[in-house]
Structure 1
Amino acid sequence: MTLSLTPYVTLAGQAREAIQFYEKVLEAKVLGIMTYADMPGTPAEMKDLIANAAIQVGESSLMLSDTPEPSIQEGKKVTICITSDDAEKSKRIFADLAEGGHINMPLEETSFSPAFGDVTDKFGVTFQIYTESK
Protein backbone atom coordinates (compact mmCIF):
# COMPACT_ATOMS: atom_id res chain seq x y z
CA MET A 1 0.00 0.00 0.00
CA THR A 2 1.33 3.43 -0.93
CA LEU A 3 0.48 6.84 0.45
CA SER A 4 1.75 10.23 -0.67
CA LEU A 5 1.04 13.93 -0.07
CA THR A 6 0.88 16.41 -2.94
CA PRO A 7 0.21 20.16 -2.81
CA TYR A 8 -2.92 21.00 -4.85
CA VAL A 9 -3.37 24.53 -6.19
CA THR A 10 -6.86 25.71 -7.17
CA LEU A 11 -7.16 28.81 -9.34
CA ALA A 12 -10.03 30.83 -10.80
CA GLY A 13 -9.56 30.04 -14.49
CA GLN A 14 -5.78 30.51 -14.49
CA ALA A 15 -4.51 26.92 -14.13
CA ARG A 16 -3.38 26.63 -17.76
CA GLU A 17 -1.51 29.94 -17.51
CA ALA A 18 0.08 28.83 -14.22
CA ILE A 19 1.21 25.53 -15.77
CA GLN A 20 2.86 27.37 -18.67
CA PHE A 21 4.51 29.74 -16.20
CA TYR A 22 5.84 26.86 -14.06
CA GLU A 23 7.10 25.07 -17.18
CA LYS A 24 9.17 28.16 -18.00
CA VAL A 25 10.26 29.26 -14.52
CA LEU A 26 10.60 25.90 -12.73
CA GLU A 27 11.34 23.71 -15.77
CA ALA A 28 8.22 21.73 -14.87
CA LYS A 29 7.12 18.81 -17.01
CA VAL A 30 3.41 18.24 -17.61
CA LEU A 31 2.39 14.75 -16.49
CA GLY A 32 -1.25 15.08 -17.48
CA ILE A 33 -4.12 17.50 -18.00
CA MET A 34 -7.84 16.73 -17.82
CA THR A 35 -10.35 19.45 -18.71
CA TYR A 36 -13.94 19.63 -17.53
CA ALA A 37 -14.86 18.64 -21.12
CA ASP A 38 -13.48 15.19 -20.23
CA MET A 39 -16.11 14.82 -17.49
CA PRO A 40 -19.73 13.90 -18.18
CA GLY A 41 -22.43 16.56 -17.84
CA THR A 42 -20.15 19.60 -17.89
CA PRO A 43 -21.78 22.91 -18.87
CA ALA A 44 -20.37 24.42 -22.09
CA GLU A 45 -18.89 27.46 -20.33
CA MET A 46 -16.68 25.19 -18.19
CA LYS A 47 -15.37 22.83 -20.88
CA ASP A 48 -12.03 24.62 -21.39
CA LEU A 49 -11.24 24.89 -17.68
CA ILE A 50 -8.77 22.43 -16.17
CA ALA A 51 -10.41 19.87 -13.90
CA ASN A 52 -7.09 18.34 -12.88
CA ALA A 53 -3.47 18.64 -13.94
CA ALA A 54 -0.25 17.20 -12.62
CA ILE A 55 3.22 18.57 -13.20
CA GLN A 56 6.64 17.33 -12.15
CA VAL A 57 8.99 19.90 -10.65
CA GLY A 58 12.34 18.30 -10.02
CA GLU A 59 11.68 15.39 -7.65
CA SER A 60 8.30 16.78 -6.55
CA SER A 61 4.89 16.95 -8.11
CA LEU A 62 2.23 19.64 -8.01
CA MET A 63 -1.43 19.31 -8.92
CA LEU A 64 -3.57 22.17 -10.20
CA SER A 65 -7.14 22.83 -11.24
CA ASP A 66 -9.54 25.63 -12.08
CA THR A 67 -12.61 26.28 -10.02
CA PRO A 68 -15.76 27.23 -11.92
CA GLU A 69 -16.47 29.75 -9.15
CA PRO A 70 -15.56 33.39 -9.89
CA SER A 71 -13.63 33.65 -6.62
CA ILE A 72 -11.94 31.16 -4.35
CA GLN A 73 -12.73 30.91 -0.67
CA GLU A 74 -9.74 31.86 1.50
CA GLY A 75 -7.90 28.76 2.61
CA LYS A 76 -8.90 26.83 -0.52
CA LYS A 77 -6.24 28.04 -2.96
CA VAL A 78 -3.80 25.39 -1.75
CA THR A 79 -4.93 22.05 -0.39
CA ILE A 80 -3.05 18.84 0.32
CA CYS A 81 -3.94 15.88 -1.86
CA ILE A 82 -3.50 12.53 -0.10
CA THR A 83 -3.13 9.80 -2.70
CA SER A 84 -3.72 6.17 -1.79
CA ASP A 85 -4.02 2.96 -3.76
CA ASP A 86 -6.40 1.45 -1.17
CA ALA A 87 -10.05 2.62 -0.98
CA GLU A 88 -10.49 1.28 2.57
CA LYS A 89 -7.46 3.27 3.77
CA SER A 90 -8.85 6.34 1.97
CA LYS A 91 -12.17 5.89 3.81
CA ARG A 92 -10.43 5.63 7.19
CA ILE A 93 -8.25 8.69 6.57
CA PHE A 94 -11.24 10.69 5.31
CA ALA A 95 -13.36 9.78 8.35
CA ASP A 96 -10.55 10.60 10.78
CA LEU A 97 -9.88 13.98 9.15
CA ALA A 98 -13.61 14.79 9.11
CA GLU A 99 -13.93 14.22 12.87
CA GLY A 100 -14.34 17.71 14.31
CA GLY A 101 -13.91 19.17 10.83
CA HIS A 102 -16.11 19.75 7.79
CA ILE A 103 -16.86 17.55 4.78
CA ASN A 104 -16.72 19.70 1.63
CA MET A 105 -17.39 16.81 -0.77
CA PRO A 106 -18.31 13.33 0.48
CA LEU A 107 -15.88 10.51 -0.27
CA GLU A 108 -17.43 8.63 -3.17
CA GLU A 109 -16.74 6.98 -6.50
CA THR A 110 -16.21 9.45 -9.35
CA SER A 111 -15.44 9.17 -13.05
CA PHE A 112 -11.72 9.45 -12.20
CA SER A 113 -11.38 7.65 -8.86
CA PRO A 114 -12.97 4.76 -6.96
CA ALA A 115 -12.97 6.97 -3.82
CA PHE A 116 -12.49 10.75 -3.90
CA GLY A 117 -13.54 13.42 -1.41
CA ASP A 118 -12.63 16.80 0.04
CA VAL A 119 -12.51 17.53 3.77
CA THR A 120 -11.33 20.35 6.02
CA ASP A 121 -9.94 19.09 9.32
CA LYS A 122 -10.50 20.59 12.77
CA PHE A 123 -7.43 22.80 12.27
CA GLY A 124 -8.78 24.38 9.05
CA VAL A 125 -6.45 22.44 6.73
CA THR A 126 -8.19 21.19 3.58
CA PHE A 127 -7.36 17.76 2.18
CA GLN A 128 -8.42 16.01 -0.99
CA ILE A 129 -8.45 12.24 -0.62
CA TYR A 130 -7.73 10.61 -3.98
CA THR A 131 -7.71 6.85 -4.52
CA GLU A 132 -5.85 5.61 -7.58
CA SER A 133 -7.70 3.21 -9.87
CA LYS A 134 -6.21 -0.26 -9.97
Structure 2
Amino acid sequence: MTMKLIPYFVMAGNANEAIEFYQEALGGKLEYKQTFGEMPENPEFPLPEEAKSLVSHATVKFGETDVMFSDSFPGQPHQSGNQVTLCISIDSKEKAEHIFNALKEGGQVSMPLQETFFSPAYAIVVDKFGITFQIYTEKAMSGS
Protein backbone atom coordinates (compact mmCIF):
# COMPACT_ATOMS: atom_id res chain seq x y z
CA MET A 1 0.00 0.00 0.00
CA THR A 2 1.18 3.48 -0.86
CA MET A 3 -0.09 6.58 0.94
CA LYS A 4 0.85 10.27 0.79
CA LEU A 5 -0.52 13.30 2.66
CA ILE A 6 -0.69 16.24 0.26
CA PRO A 7 -1.55 19.85 1.16
CA TYR A 8 -4.55 20.98 -0.91
CA PHE A 9 -5.22 24.72 -1.32
CA VAL A 10 -8.83 25.58 -2.19
CA MET A 11 -8.98 29.11 -3.58
CA ALA A 12 -11.80 31.63 -4.09
CA GLY A 13 -11.53 31.98 -7.86
CA ASN A 14 -7.85 32.96 -7.90
CA ALA A 15 -6.13 29.57 -8.10
CA ASN A 16 -4.33 30.49 -11.35
CA GLU A 17 -2.88 33.57 -9.66
CA ALA A 18 -1.90 31.55 -6.57
CA ILE A 19 -0.23 28.85 -8.69
CA GLU A 20 1.85 31.46 -10.52
CA PHE A 21 2.73 33.23 -7.26
CA TYR A 22 3.85 30.07 -5.45
CA GLN A 23 5.75 28.78 -8.49
CA GLU A 24 7.72 32.04 -8.57
CA ALA A 25 8.13 32.40 -4.78
CA LEU A 26 8.99 28.76 -4.05
CA GLY A 27 10.45 27.59 -7.36
CA GLY A 28 7.61 25.20 -8.15
CA LYS A 29 6.87 23.38 -11.39
CA LEU A 30 3.31 22.90 -12.68
CA GLU A 31 2.75 19.17 -13.16
CA TYR A 32 -0.98 19.14 -14.06
CA LYS A 33 -3.88 21.56 -14.42
CA GLN A 34 -7.53 21.09 -15.45
CA THR A 35 -10.31 23.67 -15.51
CA PHE A 36 -13.96 23.11 -14.62
CA GLY A 37 -14.71 23.63 -18.34
CA GLU A 38 -12.47 20.66 -19.21
CA MET A 39 -14.32 18.28 -16.88
CA PRO A 40 -17.05 15.96 -18.20
CA GLU A 41 -20.37 17.80 -18.23
CA ASN A 42 -23.02 16.92 -15.66
CA PRO A 43 -26.52 17.89 -16.88
CA GLU A 44 -27.80 17.89 -13.27
CA PHE A 45 -25.30 20.64 -12.36
CA PRO A 46 -24.84 22.95 -15.36
CA LEU A 47 -21.66 24.99 -15.13
CA PRO A 48 -21.95 28.78 -15.42
CA GLU A 49 -19.95 30.14 -18.36
CA GLU A 50 -17.79 32.32 -16.08
CA ALA A 51 -16.73 29.27 -14.06
CA LYS A 52 -15.36 27.27 -17.00
CA SER A 53 -11.90 28.86 -16.78
CA LEU A 54 -11.58 28.25 -13.02
CA VAL A 55 -9.16 25.55 -11.85
CA SER A 56 -10.84 22.27 -10.90
CA HIS A 57 -7.53 20.60 -10.04
CA ALA A 58 -3.83 21.35 -10.34
CA THR A 59 -0.64 19.86 -8.95
CA VAL A 60 2.55 21.86 -8.47
CA LYS A 61 5.80 20.17 -7.41
CA PHE A 62 8.04 22.02 -4.96
CA GLY A 63 11.24 19.99 -4.62
CA GLU A 64 10.01 16.59 -3.42
CA THR A 65 6.59 17.87 -2.29
CA ASP A 66 3.37 18.06 -4.27
CA VAL A 67 0.84 20.77 -3.46
CA MET A 68 -2.61 20.57 -5.02
CA PHE A 69 -4.81 23.54 -5.91
CA SER A 70 -8.37 24.17 -7.01
CA ASP A 71 -10.92 26.94 -7.01
CA SER A 72 -14.08 26.45 -4.97
CA PHE A 73 -16.71 24.70 -7.05
CA PRO A 74 -19.17 27.28 -8.36
CA GLY A 75 -21.91 27.82 -5.79
CA GLN A 76 -19.90 26.29 -2.91
CA PRO A 77 -19.16 28.65 -0.02
CA HIS A 78 -15.55 29.68 0.51
CA GLN A 79 -14.26 31.29 3.67
CA SER A 80 -10.84 31.95 5.11
CA GLY A 81 -9.83 29.04 7.26
CA ASN A 82 -11.14 26.22 5.06
CA GLN A 83 -8.96 26.82 2.03
CA VAL A 84 -6.20 24.41 3.11
CA THR A 85 -7.07 20.74 3.38
CA LEU A 86 -5.02 17.55 3.50
CA CYS A 87 -5.45 15.18 0.60
CA ILE A 88 -4.77 11.55 1.47
CA SER A 89 -3.65 9.92 -1.77
CA ILE A 90 -3.88 6.15 -1.53
CA ASP A 91 -3.84 3.15 -3.88
CA SER A 92 -6.43 0.95 -2.16
CA LYS A 93 -10.22 1.35 -2.07
CA GLU A 94 -10.35 -0.81 1.05
CA LYS A 95 -7.83 1.39 2.88
CA ALA A 96 -9.70 4.49 1.67
CA GLU A 97 -12.89 3.10 3.21
CA HIS A 98 -11.09 2.35 6.49
CA ILE A 99 -9.62 5.89 6.67
CA PHE A 100 -12.96 7.48 5.72
CA ASN A 101 -14.83 5.54 8.43
CA ALA A 102 -12.22 6.46 11.04
CA LEU A 103 -12.15 10.17 10.16
CA LYS A 104 -15.93 10.57 10.04
CA GLU A 105 -16.33 9.36 13.66
CA GLY A 106 -17.36 12.50 15.53
CA GLY A 107 -16.82 14.52 12.37
CA GLN A 108 -18.90 15.62 9.41
CA VAL A 109 -19.06 14.12 5.93
CA SER A 110 -19.00 16.78 3.21
CA MET A 111 -18.98 14.22 0.36
CA PRO A 112 -19.58 10.50 0.98
CA LEU A 113 -16.98 7.99 -0.22
CA GLN A 114 -17.93 7.25 -3.80
CA GLU A 115 -16.64 6.54 -7.28
CA THR A 116 -16.04 9.66 -9.39
CA PHE A 117 -14.78 10.20 -12.92
CA PHE A 118 -11.29 10.85 -11.48
CA SER A 119 -11.12 8.30 -8.63
CA PRO A 120 -12.59 4.88 -7.81
CA ALA A 121 -13.14 6.04 -4.19
CA TYR A 122 -13.17 9.75 -3.26
CA ALA A 123 -14.57 11.58 -0.25
CA ILE A 124 -14.35 14.80 1.72
CA VAL A 125 -14.69 14.65 5.49
CA VAL A 126 -14.10 17.13 8.30
CA ASP A 127 -12.77 15.26 11.32
CA LYS A 128 -13.76 15.87 14.94
CA PHE A 129 -10.94 18.41 15.25
CA GLY A 130 -12.20 20.51 12.32
CA ILE A 131 -9.50 19.38 9.85
CA THR A 132 -10.79 18.79 6.32
CA PHE A 133 -9.45 15.70 4.57
CA GLN A 134 -9.93 14.69 0.96
CA ILE A 135 -9.54 10.96 0.48
CA TYR A 136 -8.36 10.27 -3.05
CA THR A 137 -7.89 6.72 -4.29
CA GLU A 138 -5.60 6.53 -7.28
CA LYS A 139 -6.92 4.79 -10.38
CA ALA A 140 -5.35 1.40 -10.98
CA MET A 141 -2.85 1.50 -13.78
CA SER A 142 -3.80 -0.60 -16.82
CA GLY A 143 -2.11 -3.96 -16.80
CA SER A 144 -1.83 -4.12 -13.01
Q: Is TM more than 0.5 here? A: yes
1:47 aligns with 2:21: no
Counterparts of 2:128 and 2:59, CA distance in 1: 28
1:107 aligns with 2:118: no
Q: CA RMSD in A?
A: 1.4
TM, length-normalised to structure 2: 0.88
Q: Note the C-alpha offset of 1:69.
A: 4.2
Relative to structure 2, which stretch is displaced further, 91-100 or 39-48?
39-48
The match for 1:96 is 102
Structure 1 stretches of 5 or more lacking a match? none
Relative to structure 2, which stretch is displaced further, 21-30 or 5-14?
21-30
Counterparts of 2:115 and 2:76, CA distance in 1: 27
Deviation digits for residues 60-117 of structure 1, max 9, x if unmatched? 1100000124751343110000000001100110111001100001111111111111
Classify 1:70/1:83 alpha carbon distance in 2 versus 1 (closer, same or farther; 3 Å).
closer
Deviation digits for residues 14-50 of structure 1, max 9, x if unmatched? 1011111112111100110011112222512321110
The match for 2:82 is 76
Counterparts of 1:72 and 1:96, CA distance in 2: 26
Counterparts of 1:71 and 1:108, CA distance in 2: 22
TM, length-normalised to structure 1: 0.94
Counterparts of 2:101 and 2:113, CA distance in 1: 9
Give 3-state SS (helix, strand or coil) of 2:69's partner: strand
The match for 2:62 is 57
Moved over 3 A (4+): none
Is the 1:102–1:120 Cα contact (8 Å) retained in structure 2? Answer: yes
The match for 1:118 is 124
Structure 2 stretches of 5 or more lacking a match? none
1:132 aligns with 2:125: no
Question: Number of aligned pairs?
Answer: 134
Counterparts of 1:105 and 1:70, CA distance in 2: 13
Structure 2 letter corresponding to 1:54: T
1:38 aligns with 2:43: no
Structure 1 letter corresponding to 2:60: I
Counterparts of 2:111 and 2:83, CA distance in 1: 16
